[in-house]
């Protein structure tokens, strides 16, 4: 009996179909409700057919996280092209991270451990583009940062701020003031940026 998930003809396209089906189920049910059996039903095949693509749900989540990190890096680099100075590029990267988290909630949850998920790559590190933007600012304002510790510290603090505000977004937003969480985040980011070079 032929499965509707055609393994021989288009394996990459079918693998991506599985990934998209999992994301779609996460939108409906949350990640806790996503099962390999449910994903199989969504793509119209049996659960065993999925195991030719992903050995288990964790492998599927790792793929979603990997794709998410690539998309996030592209989004941050694009956002940073709008800034003329290191501080503006860093602010743009933070804003890009905020926007990505809002636009890609399910991927972000898997990437960085929200909604009860354990980060698929086991880390909660600041994205590389954010680290690079922080390094630019630190080098401009403080001079040489031989081991990169000051830049890494700034990037981690900014990432923690964004991540915290993303998690609190629903609680902080009041009817009619949905922009409040972003406004609070940007004030906090400006304070952190101003503090660079004053240490």
Q: Which two tokens stand for residue 17?
A: 């179909």
- Start-end of CATH 1.10.357 domains in the chain: 68-195
CA nearest 93: which of 162, 141, 153, 143? 162
Q: How many CA atoms lie within 13 A of 139 on its CB side?
A: 12
How far apart CA 115 and CA 163 sit, in angstroms, is 12
pLDDT, residue 174, reads: 65
Secondary structure E strands in the chain: none
For residues 178 and 176, what is the distance between their CA atoms, to the nearest angstrom?
6
Q: For the domain with range 11-54, which CATH number is right: 2.40.160, 1.10.10, 2.60.40, 1.10.8?
A: 1.10.10
Are 94 and 72 in contact, with CB atoms under 8 Å apart? no
CA separation (Å) from 53 to 65, 69, 117?
16, 20, 22
CB 54 within 8 A of CB 60: yes
Nearest of 77, 184, 90 to residue 138 by alpha carbon: 90
- Domain 68-195, CATH 3.40.50 — does that match? no
The boundaries of every CATH 1.10.10 domain in the chain are: 11-54
Residues 45-88: tens digit of each pLDDT: 888 888 989 999 889 998 998 899 999 999 999 999 987 888 99
Q: Which residues on neighbouring strands pair with residue 177, listed in sequence order?
A: 174
Q: Are 85 and 106 a contacting pair, CB within 8 Å? A: no
How does pLDDT run across 85-132, given as a tens digit for each residue? 889 999 999 999 999 998 998 998 888 877 666 655 545 577 888 888
Rg (CA), the chain: 20
């Amino acid at each position: 009996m032929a499965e509707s998930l055609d393994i021989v003809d288009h394996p990459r396209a079918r693998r991506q179909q599985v990934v998209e089906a999992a994301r779609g189920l996460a939108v409906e049910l949350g990640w806790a409700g996503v099962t390999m059996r449910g994903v199989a039903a969504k793509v119209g095949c049996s659960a065993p057919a999925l195991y030719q693509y992903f050995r288990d749900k964790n492998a599927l989540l790792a793929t979603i996280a990997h794709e998410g990190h690539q998309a996030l890096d592209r989004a941050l680099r694009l956002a940073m092209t709008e800034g003329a100075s290191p501080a503006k590029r860093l602010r743009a990267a933070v804003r890009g991270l905020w926007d990505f988290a809002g636009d890609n909630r399910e991927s972000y949850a898997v990437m960085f451990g929200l909604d009860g998920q354990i980060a698929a790559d086991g880390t909660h590190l600041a994205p590389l583009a954010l680290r690079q933007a922080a390094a630019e600012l630190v080098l401009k304002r403080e001079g040489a940062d031989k081991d990169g510790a000051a830049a890494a510290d700034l990037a981690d603090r900014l990432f923690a701020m964004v991540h915290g505000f993303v998690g609190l977004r629903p609680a902080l937003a009041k009817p009619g003031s949905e922009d409040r969480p972003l406004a609070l985040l940007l004030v906090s980011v400006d304070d952190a940026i101003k503090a660079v070079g004053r240490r």
